[in-house]
Structure 1
Amino acid sequence: MLDGRRKSIQPMAERLPDGNMQALQQFVNQSPWEWSPVRRRIAERLCKVIAPDVWVVDDVSFPKCGTASVGVARQYCGALGKRANCQVAVSVHAATDTASCPLEWELFLPEEWAGDQLRRRRAGVPEEVEHASKTRLALGVLDRLAGQGLVVPVIVADAGYGRSVSFRLALEERGWSYVMAVDPKGIARPATAEPSQPAYGGLGPPTLSRYREPARPLPNLINACTRFEEVTWRQGSKGAMTSRFAMLKVRPSGKEATRTAQEQAGGRSRWDGVLPLRTLLVEQPEDASEPTGYWMSNLPAGTSIADLVRWAKMRWRIEHDYRELKHGLGLDHFEGRTWRGWHHHVTLVTAAQAFLTLRRLDPKAQTPA
């Protein structure tokens, strides 16, 4: 938290009057202390104080040189906006309109690392850690947080997670509510669509119910009758944040949605062909000729459009987190290469950001451990 451009070990040690670079290096990179209890305490403390309206699922990238740093590979790097050599981590943040803080992290291990025993051994990757998609990592992080007894609020994510039907369905299976940005290329049917039962031909098993009309891309569900209304979701630095939104009932479609509906019904032969209803939130500003944003939600039918918009837009808070974590606290300044060192580093940075968050919420209060 002290002034200084670089927050890697050597410059931090040099800025301290009694700095010991070797001791600090040992503490961060090799010391056997467990990071999980530290993060658990941070999550418990921050959720109690912040009382989050949402948990935001996201991922962040760290540009890297070379091939030895744990999890590094050539992949899409959000920090650079292109494919590059980098690490990627999945994070979950507690957020309200006025405060936020990361609760938990998981480092993405690219597929090329899965069977490379030499690289794994040099980086200290535990044997039980395997390659997993970012959506699977996010589910694991959410399960850990819920397993600590924390109340799971509405879950928010960008289209990188929201476009995954299996991810949304996994949240539903756990009984969790979400408002997820989705890709306009996603397909759905209007709420009024009903499957029909084709006539039995007399041979073989009965033909299953099916929808006569194909599913449509989300923009094609909007027509002249779609009613947009103006919604203000928060006060920004330049005034009220306002835009026009519409709320539609749709039936998300596609292979994953159909397969899951069949499984929930007890099998293909027992499924009545009806896809479940979900809420589609659409944004189209007054000066736009077409929609600029889409979100899918499983919240109850009586949820107001103002609440849906506020939760959907609350993802902006984590940009504040990343700005402070990276530029103020050195999240992406870590120069170590090991699995243990990376987890120690992000835990210490998270603790520093949590401390600052608590001080901002109540500058005069003591901040106990």
Structure 2
Amino acid sequence: MTVTSLERPDTLSSRFVPDPVVGELCAELFASLPRSDQRRKGELYVRGLLRAEGRKSIRNIAAYVGDRAAEQSLHHFVVSSTWDWGPVRAALARYLERALPPQAWVVRPMVISKAGTESVGVDRRFVPELGQMVNSQAAYGIWSVGEERSCPVNWRLTLSRKWRDSIGPLPPNARESEMASTSLELAAGAVEELRGWAGRTPHRPVVLDLPGLDPAAVARRFEPSGTHFVVPARGSLRVRCVDVALPGTADRELAAHQLLLMARTLRRPVTWQDPSTGRPRVSLVAAVRVEPANAPGPQLLFGEWSDPLGRPDRCWVTDMTQAHPGALLRLAKRARQVEADFTHVSRRVGLTDFGGRSFEGWHRHTTLASAAHAVRVLARRAAEH
């Protein structure tokens, strides 16, 4: 869950803004906005997210602009206007398909601590990473992840029954899955929407970096659309081994950790790039063909070891049963790229800075901050090349 900090220095000044990149991206993203003043405000807001000092509130963005009337105008544009964030996110997804072709989509939870209780979606939650109850928003981001960079593309905000009731009828710009009560339904709805935006481009595998999901439920949810997935699994997950490489375990139901320990002779070293340090790392990986109860078909259980003599550090389940274990581990590690880019890019462009009770305002701000994140990532790539 995104509440940690990775100490990796950024390679660009936080205020560096390449004008051609901003102009080109904003022209494409805001083409769906019907009025020229809306398109102008959209680009102005993105530039403010990139350049304004401190917290990226509407007030601070307006102060960067230097116009006394800008605060009210930008507030109306984000909170009270009627423009739909969906086409803007769709344009961002298509832009990234060309500029930073994704290898996967990563679903990542995001907890946003808030001092008060008035911001939309804020509830009292226990955050394991912090070890305490905090007032916070909980959201799910769908990230487009390329070879070395990632960018958020679509979002869902968790709404408790209290907040769903306070919002009343579903806002015209909201998606039906926004009102879902489970993390799997929230994530799956956002992924399906992104699939529609991507059009005829190859569908990407989805890495669901979400704790506590039932792999069989994930398989049932994604099987009709043909979306391949990788999902973390608990060591206690019960699975039935159907792998001919382990004849002594055939058709036995075992805990995932127990089965992987029995498969230690199948382990192979795999090198992967750690985005938090930029250095290569080596893990031991083994994969076993299994059939979890109530799953629509066979799956692959794979585990990672850092200590050859210990238990697996982590394990995952995927429906890509023909994939190489090394490729699957590198795919699962894409979540670490998202974690690093959230810390070093998203936070700096104000992704978590929206305050207020407006459901629509949260989505519009998050959409514009995702665009600012894309500008920063594209600029960094250009500087490195």
TM-score (norm 2): 0.76
* Aligned with residue 8 of structure 1, among 57, 62, 72: 57
Q: In the aligned structure 2, how far is the partner of 1:225 from the partner of 1:82?
A: 38
Contact 2:346 2:373 in 1 (8 A): no
Once the two structures are superposed, the pairs formed by residues 77-88 of structure 1 within 5 Å of their partners are 77=127, 80-88=130-138
Return 5+ residue gaps in structure 1 as ranges. 194-211, 262-275
Instruction: In structure 2, give the amino acid aligned to 1:250.
Output: V
Matched, 1:92 2:142: yes
Q: In the aligned structure 2, how far is the partner of 1:347 from the partner of 1:113?
A: 21
Contact 1:58 1:90 in 2 (8 A): yes
Contact 1:189 1:215 in 2 (8 A): yes
Q: Which residue of 2 aligns with 1:120?
A: 167
Counting matched residue pairs gives: 325
> In structure 2, do the counterparts of structure 1 residues 225 and 120 end up closer, same or farther at CA, with 3 Å as the change threshold?
closer
Q: Which residue of 2 aligns with 1:178?
A: 229
Contact 2:300 2:317 in 1 (8 A): yes
* Aligned with residue 334 of structure 2, among 296, 302, 314: 314
Q: Alpha-carbon deviations, 1:291-318, whole Å to 9, x = none? A: 11101111142x2222111111111111
Secondary structure at the residue paired with 2:179?
Answer: coil
Q: In the aligned structure 1, how far is the partner of 2:126 from the partner of 2:313?
A: 23
Q: Which residue of 1 aligns with 2:287?
A: 247
Q: Which residue of 1 aligns with 2:16?
A: none
Contact 1:63 1:79 in 2 (8 A): no
* Aligned with residue 291 of structure 1, among 308, 312, 315: 312
Q: In the aligned structure 2, how far is the partner of 1:188 from the partner of 1:220?
A: 10
Return 5+ residue gaps in structure 2 as ranges. 1-49, 245-249
Q: Which residue of 2 aligns with 1:272?
A: none
Structure 1 residue 73, shift from structure 2 partner:
1.5
Contact 2:52 2:60 in 1 (8 A): no
Q: Which residue of 1 aligns with 2:26?
A: none
Q: Which has the higher helix share?
A: 2
> In structure 2, do the counterparts of structure 1 residues 14 and 120 end up closer, same or farther at CA, with 3 Å as the change threshold?
same
Instruction: In structure 2, give the amino acid aligned to 1:154.
Output: P
- The more displaced of 242-251 and 17-26 is 17-26
Q: Which residue of 2 aligns with 1:140?
A: 189
Q: Which residue of 1 aligns with 2:371?
A: 351
Contact 2:159 2:179 in 1 (8 A): yes
> In structure 2, do the counterparts of structure 1 residues 152 and 290 end up closer, same or farther at CA, with 3 Å as the change threshold?
same
Contact 1:158 1:182 in 2 (8 A): no
* Aligned with residue 94 of structure 2, among 41, 44, 57: 44
Instruction: In structure 2, give the amino acid aligned to 1:226.
Output: R
Q: Which residue of 2 aligns with 1:232?
A: 271
- The more displaced of 124-133 and 319-328 is 124-133
Q: In the aligned structure 2, how far is the partner of 1:41 from the partner of 1:239?
A: 33
Matched, 1:332 2:352: yes
Once the two structures are superposed, the pairs formed by residues 100-115 of structure 1 within 5 Å of their partners are 100-114=150-164
Q: Which residue of 2 aligns with 1:191?
A: 242
Contact 2:141 2:154 in 1 (8 A): yes
Q: Which residue of 1 aligns with 2:41?
A: none
Instruction: In structure 1, give the amino acid aligned to 2:272.
Output: W
Highest Rg: 1 or 2?
A: 1
- The more displaced of 139-148 and 356-365 is 356-365
Q: In the aligned structure 2, how far is the partner of 1:180 from the partner of 1:356?
A: 29
Q: In the aligned structure 1, how far is the partner of 2:273 from the partner of 2:375?
A: 25
TM-score (norm 1): 0.79
Q: Which residue of 2 aligns with 1:278?
A: 299
Pairwise CA RMSD: 2.9
Matched, 1:56 2:106: yes
Q: Which residue of 2 aligns with 1:268?
A: none
Contact 1:243 1:284 in 2 (8 A): yes
Q: Which residue of 1 aligns with 2:45?
A: none
Secondary structure at the residue paired with 1:55?
Answer: strand
Structure 1 residue 76, shift from structure 2 partner:
3.9
Q: Which residue of 1 aligns with 2:67?
A: 18
Contact 1:61 1:79 in 2 (8 A): no
Contact 2:283 2:304 in 1 (8 A): yes
Instruction: In structure 1, give the amino acid aligned to 2:273.
Output: R
> In structure 2, do the counterparts of structure 1 residues 97 and 107 end up closer, same or farther at CA, with 3 Å as the change threshold?
same
Q: Which residue of 2 aligns with 1:267?
A: none
Q: In the aligned structure 1, how far is the partner of 2:384 from the partner of 2:258?
A: 54
Contact 2:117 2:123 in 1 (8 A): yes
Q: In the aligned structure 2, how far is the partner of 1:60 from the partner of 1:343?
A: 14
Q: % of aligned pairs identical?
A: 28
Instruction: In structure 2, give the amino acid aligned to 1:251.
Output: E
